[in-house]
Amino acid sequence: MKLQLKHPLTFGKKTVDALTFRDHTTAGDYLAFDVRGGVAQRIALIANLTGTDESLIKQLHGPDYRAAEKIADDLIQADEVGDEKSEDAAEKKLSAS
């Protein structure tokens, strides 16, 4: 999933005009939540999901950060929905036994 930045950033000698998100989360992404709070968690998660340095994510303009945050939140929500479906299927299987 690609997020086109409304406000491209210069990072070193490179101009970054888009962030490319993986289509799934990993346990390492969740690790970002262990030691950090609030916004720091989201910045670490976005950096992990896009393979981008946190210092670049910290430079995102507000609208770009909020758009990236929404994509990250949607990926986390998809994990939670997947967990609920798995739990429901397991409960049905146990009930049928």
CA-to-CA dists, residue 6 to 9, 68, 84, angstroms? 10, 11, 35
Indicate the number of domains in the chain: 1
* CA 15 – CA 82 distance, rounded (Å): 36
* Boundaries of domain holding 92: 2-96
15-28 pLDDT per residue, tens: 999 999 988 888 77
The alpha helices in 1-97, defined as continuous H runs, are 27-35, 38-50, 54-57, 62-96
Residue identified by tokens 């896009």 is 50
Write out pLDDT tens, residues 42-90: 899 999 999 999 999 999 999 999 999 999 999 989 988 876 665 565 5
* pTM check: above 0.95: no
